[in-house]
Amino acid sequence: MGKWLLANVRVFDGSLLTDPTDVTVEGGVISSVGGGRPGDADVVDGAGATLLPGLIDAHTHADEPGLRQALTFGVTTELDLASMPDTMIPLRNSVATSFDLADVRSASFGLTTPDGHPHQLRQEMNDPVWPTATHPDQVQDFVDGRIAEGADYIKILIEDGHTLGASLPTLTPDVVDAAVRAGHERGKLVLAHALTFAATQIALDAGADGLTHLFVDQPHTDELIARIADSGMFVIPTLSTLASITGQRNGADLANDVRVRPKLSPEWFDNLSRSWGFQQPHEFQYALDTVTALHVAGVDVLAGTDAAHLGGYGMAHGASLHDEMRLLILAGFSPAEALNAATSVPAARFGLHERGTIRPGARADLILVDGDPTETISHTLSLLGVWREGVRLDPAAVNPT
C-alpha cells in the first residue's frame, strides 16, 4: 500500500470543511492531516479539489457486481440489509482481498413470515429456504442462526404489502417485540423495515434501534416525530426508493447525468431509469416533510438507497447514493449535513469508528472530487479519485472515457 500524500486539498473531515492542506496515508491508514510532507511519500496534487471520506450507503442488498459498481461511484462501504448467506459469506471473503469492491456489512436473512415480504419480489431468484417465524418462541433461534452466519445486525420486516401493491402476511407485534429483545440480548442492533405509519409505530413500541425506510401512506404527526426523537432511534429514509414507489423520475434524471451513464451497463441504465409507481406521486411529499421534521427534532438521519438487483427499479448501486444526498437537501439539509448523513453519521451509528472521517488513525477510504460539494452537492459525482484502504481504484473505472 506504501506511503502517499494528497497535497493542497480541501478536506471535508466528516463534519467540517478545512482550508487546503496535506493528507498523508501509510499502510491503508491516514497518518497525518496537515504538518510536514514526508520526503518518501508519493504526491498526488489535490489543488482545487475536495477530499471526502468514502461514502457509506446505509441500506443496500449487496452482491459482487453491485459492490464493484458502488466503488466506482465513491461508495466504499455498503450496509447490506438482507441477503442470502450462501452469497454473502463468500462475498465478504472476496472483499477482504480485493480492492476493486466496496466493503460490506450484512444482516444476512431478514426476519419475515412464511410468504411474507420480500418473497413476492424474489419468486424467480432460486432462494434457499428462507428462515421465518410466526411465534415469539421461534425468534431466538432465528437471531442465533443469523449471528452464526456472520450477521453484524438483525433485520426485521414489518410489511403488509399494500404500499408495494400487494397483500401479504406480516409479523405480529409480539414477534417483533421478541425479535428486538433477542437481538439486544446478543448485543446486536435491530433494524425494522416499515413503509407504513402503523408499522413504524410497531417498531417504536418494540424498541427497534433504527428504521430502514419511511412511511408514505400518510403525513407524519408531531406525536410520532417526538416518539422517534425520544427513543434515540435513527432513520434511513431511502428517499430514492420512496421516489420510485411514488413514480418520480429522479432515477431517470440521474441515469442521464454524463458522470453516471458511462459507468452503467445498458441493463443498469434501464433499471435506474424506471420506477415502481405503486403509490400516488403526491405521497412523496409526505416522506420529504417527515424527513424535515425528523431533522428539526435532532433525529439521526442516514443516507441509504435500497439499491439491490436488477428489477429494483429506480436505484443503482453507488450512483443512487449521490441522488439520495440531493433528496435530503430537498428535505432541508444543508450540503454538509447531507454529506454527514453519508459518512460520519452511519459510521457512528453502526460502530464503524475508523470510517466516515478524515483524521490520523482513520481508515484511508477516500474520494477526491472536483469542486466543493459543501456548496453544490452534485460535485460528489465529479470524481477524480477513489481509494479503499489506501489503494486507488483504477482511474479508468472512476472516470471512464
Domain extent listing, the chain: 54-355
Half-sphere exposure for 218 (CA within 13 Å, toward CB)? 10
* 370-379 residue pLDDT tens: 999 999 999 9
pLDDT-derived band at 121 (thresholds 50, 70, 90) equals low
The residue assigned the cell 459518512 is: 343
Q: Determine what percent of the chain falls in helix, strand and coil, rounding each to the nearest 5.
A: 35, 20, 45
Strand 49-53, strand 366-370: pairing: antiparallel
CB 210 within 8 A of CB 233: yes
What's the confidence (pLDDT) of residue 11? 97
* 273-293 residue pLDDT tens: 999 999 999 999 999 999 999
* 193-241 residue pLDDT tens: 999 999 999 999 999 999 999 999 999 999 999 999 999 999 999 999 9
Whether residue 128 is predicted with pLDDT greater than 80 in this model: the reply is no
CATH homologous superfamily, domain 54-355: Metal-dependent hydrolases (3.20.20.140)
Whether residue 1 is predicted with pLDDT greater than 90 in this model: the reply is no
What's the confidence (pLDDT) of residue 167? 87
pLDDT-derived band at 401 (thresholds 50, 70, 90) equals low
Whether residue 119 is predicted with pLDDT greater than 70 in this model: the reply is no
Q: For residue 187, give the C-alpha cell.
A: 448485543
